[in-house]
Amino acid sequence: MNHRSPVNHPSSRGRRDALFSGAAIAAALMAPGLAGATATPARSVSAGDGRLLHVMFKNHGIDMAGDLYLPPNFTPSTRHPAVISVHPGGGVKEQTAGLYARKLADRGFVALAFDASHQGASGGLPRLLDDPMRRVADIYSAVDYLTSLSCVDADCIGALGICAGSGTVVKAASMERRIRAIATVSAVDVGAATRRGWDGKAPASDQLAMLEAVARQRTAEAGGAAPAFVKYVPALGDTTAARDLQEAANYYLTPRGQHVNAPNRMLMVSLSALAAFTGFDRADLLTQPLLMVAGSEAGSLWHSQELHAMAAGAKDLFIVEGATHMDLYDGQGADTAMTRIAPFFMQALA
């Protein structure tokens, strides 16, 4: 059963008041002492029962673009538990990460979804670079930002990672003790997936061939050639791809999940950084409570199973029977995942 908070449908006047009150909320969030935190009240909009504020925060010299979801009947003077929602590799904050952030806000959390550096509306050059260790640093900066907000209980911050966002969340939380609880949805350690293939069975020769191609491209670019790009997901209708990846195309390349800031490409030279990444290697330090949600039919299930075996702390692997990797991104699959995620964070961040 999905335990939802009651949803109220405000009148036209109520919606208008929500929009105007968003400016007041943003002003309160920008009170003195919020180091490095900025909000844009002119762009405040209602988000279900809560509020949505478009915010910026710093990751060293990079401006990070985030969406801060606030719970129903939010008051800035009250300290709330908070959850960071980290998007998949080829995604942006407006897609599944934002969906989960909104659902968490509806249940009383302050929730932050943000675009990774070099992606979406966040800064960072070169554009469309995918370096997982930089994304780990993004998460550290997101924690910094939340601790600067007077409406957030700095001792009650959790992190949720979806797909490749799970690998970076686990890596970050293994070292970042301010993250008190971790949840993953359709977890993927993108380093392991790059080295071993989607199903975990690719031979080392495939990895070596990829790295040789990246080496040639880097040499070409050093000599003045234009950057080359590779796709995150296959073209629609490509039946040669794994089932999960075909379904990923149906999400990212159709109105179901398509977004202008997620162009389905990354710099080819990113592949060596992906291959070098190890998301779960220090799971022996992951003593915080951990919840993993994965589909029984997901080709990526092996990531959640390996993480479950490696994590040092209290842990739970919830397998959604009949679900694939992409089923948990939205719709009923996301609703089912939330029946475990919401109470998990409520208990872990109490």
Whole-angstrom distance, CA of residue 142 vs CA of residue 136 = 10
Rounded to the nearest 10°, the torsion over CA 47, 49, 161, 270 is: 0
Across residues 327-332, what is the average pLDDT? 98
Closest-CA residue to 272 (of 347, 191, 197, 203): 191
Q: What is the pLDDT of residues 274-310, one digit of tens each?
A: 999 999 999 999 999 999 999 999 999 999 999 999 9
Q: What is the pTM (predicted TM-score) of this model?
A: 0.89
Whole-angstrom distance, CA of residue 60 vs CA of residue 225 = 30
Whether 261 shows a pLDDT value over 70: the answer reads yes
Q: How confident is the model at residue 34 (pLDDT cuts 50, 70, 90)?
A: very low
What one-character-per-residue DSSP string does 280-306 give? STTGGG--S-EEEEEETT-TTHHHHHH
Whether 50 shows a pLDDT value over 70: the answer reads no
Whole-angstrom distance, CA of residue 199 vs CA of residue 326 = 15
CATH superfamily of 26-348: Alpha/Beta hydrolase fold, catalytic domain (3.40.50.1820)
Measured in whole angstroms, the distance separating CA 139 from the mean position of its chain's CA atoms is 9
DSSP-derived 3-state class of residue 55: strand
Whether 159 shows a pLDDT value over 50: the answer reads yes
Across residues 297-325, what is the average pLDDT? 98
Whether 54 shows a pLDDT value over 50: the answer reads yes
Q: What pLDDT is stored for residue 51 in this prediction?
A: 85
Whole-angstrom distance, CA of residue 144 vs CA of residue 137 = 11
Across residues 328-343, what is the average pLDDT? 98
Q: How confident is the model at residue 25 (pLDDT cuts 50, 70, 90)?
A: low
Q: Which residues 6+ apart lie within 8 Å of 336 measured at CB? A: 2, 320, 323, 328
Whole-angstrom distance, CA of residue 29 vs CA of residue 27 = 5
Q: What is the pLDDT of residues 224-257, one digit of tens each?
A: 999 999 999 999 999 999 999 999 999 999 999 9
Q: How confident is the model at residue 29 (pLDDT cuts 50, 70, 90)?
A: low
Task: Tell me the chain's radius of gyration from C-alpha atoms.
Answer: 20
- Extents of the domains making up the chain: 26-348
Q: Which residues 6+ apart lie within 8 Å of 191 measured at CB? A: 132, 167, 274, 275, 276, 277, 278, 279
Q: Cα-flanking dihedrals φ and ψ of residue 326, to 5°?
A: -80, -20
Least confident of 46-60, 264-278, 294-308: 46-60
Give me the count of residues in the chain. 350
Q: Which residue has the tokens 């199903």?
A: 199
Rounded to the nearest 10°, the torsion over CA 97, 288, 106, 20 is: -80
